[in-house]
Amino acid sequence: MQVPPEPPTQVRNPLHGLTLEAIVTALVAHYGWIELGQRIPLRCFTSDPSVASSLKFLRKTPWARDKVEGLYLFMQRERRRAKG
C-alpha cells in the first residue's frame, strides 16, 4: 500500500493562508478605492467599487488577481521598510 505524498509546504509563500477578500480589504484600507483604481486600473476598482464585486471579478480573472497579489506584496514590503 502506497502512502500518498504530502502536499508541499508553503513556508516561504507570504500569501499562504490569506484569502482574496483579506487581501482586497487590506489594500482598500491602505490605499482607498481611488488610489487602488489608479495603481491597478480595473473597472471593479474605479466604477462603483465594492469588495464583493471586486472578488467576483478577480476570482474569474487570473491576470488581474496576480496584479492585486503583487500590489499586496509590495504594500507589505513598504510597511516593513517603514518600520525599519
- Condensed to tens digits (0 to 9), the pLDDT of residues 10-66 reads 778 888 889 999 999 999 999 999 999 999 999 999 999 999 999 999 999 999 999
User: How far from chain centre, in Å, is Cα 73?
Assistant: 8
Owner of C-alpha cell 502536499: 7
CATH code of the region 20-83: 1.10.720.30
Instruction: Write the Ramachandran bin of 48: left for phi over 0, alpha for psi from -120 to 50, otherwise beta.
Output: left
pTM: 0.84
Task: Output the nine-digit C-alpha cell for 61.
Answer: 480573472
Count the alpha carbons within 13 Å of 25 in the hemisphere toward its beta carbon. Answer: 6
Q: How many Å apart are CA 82 and CA 50, to the nearest integer?
A: 29
Q: Domain map of the chain by residue range?
A: 20-83
Helix, strand, or coil (residue 79): helix
